[in-house]
Amino acid sequence: MRNKYIENFEKAQLAEKNIPDFRAGDTVRLAVTIKEGDKSRVQAYEGVCIARRGQGTGETITVRKIGANGVGIERIFPIYSDSIEEIKVLRRGRVRRAKLFYLRELAGKKARIKELRRK
């Protein structure tokens, strides 16, 4: 049971941000604001969404990409954070799980996700 005042405040926060419809298995590109000293810049972070958890303003996504030398890099992003400028869905993945943690053990072609074909 949550406080109704907190729920109303969170609804207002959710209405401000435009979040596309995506789920685990989709390839997303996040525009993340990075602050370095007194300067800030926007950097793209592209990878496969392997998990979505939480609800309301506390909802987070885990995005996995393959970095240099084939090393997997995972970052957890709060969806409604001010540091995320935009979220763009690049590919829809056809998966049968809500959490794709098994991708951590796979490498190369085995780690591919089939694209979802819309009819």
Q: What is the CATH number for 13?
A: 2.30.30.790
Residue for token digits 């053990």?
105
CA 61 to the chain's CA centroid = 4
**39 inside domain:** yes
Residues 6+ apart with CB under 8 A from 110: none
Residue range(s) defining the domain that contains residue 43: 4-106
pTM of the model: 0.86
DSSP string, 15-51: HHS------TT-EEEEEEEEEETTEEEEEEEEEEEEE
**115 inside domain:** no
pLDDT for 66: 92
Structure tokens at 7: 């729920």
Count of domains for the chain: 1
**92 inside domain:** yes
- Assign residue 60 a region (left: φ > 0; alpha: ψ between -120 and 50; beta: otherwise): beta
pLDDT for 13: 78
**113 inside domain:** no
Neighbours of 28 (CB within 10 A): 19
**112 inside domain:** no
Which residues is 41 bridged to in the sheet?
34
* Under-70 pLDDT residues of the chain: 1, 119
pLDDT, tens only, 86-96: 999 999 999 99
**54 inside domain:** yes
Distance, in Å, from the CA atom of 46 to the CA atom of 37, rounded to the nearest integer, reads 24
**89 inside domain:** yes
**38 inside domain:** yes
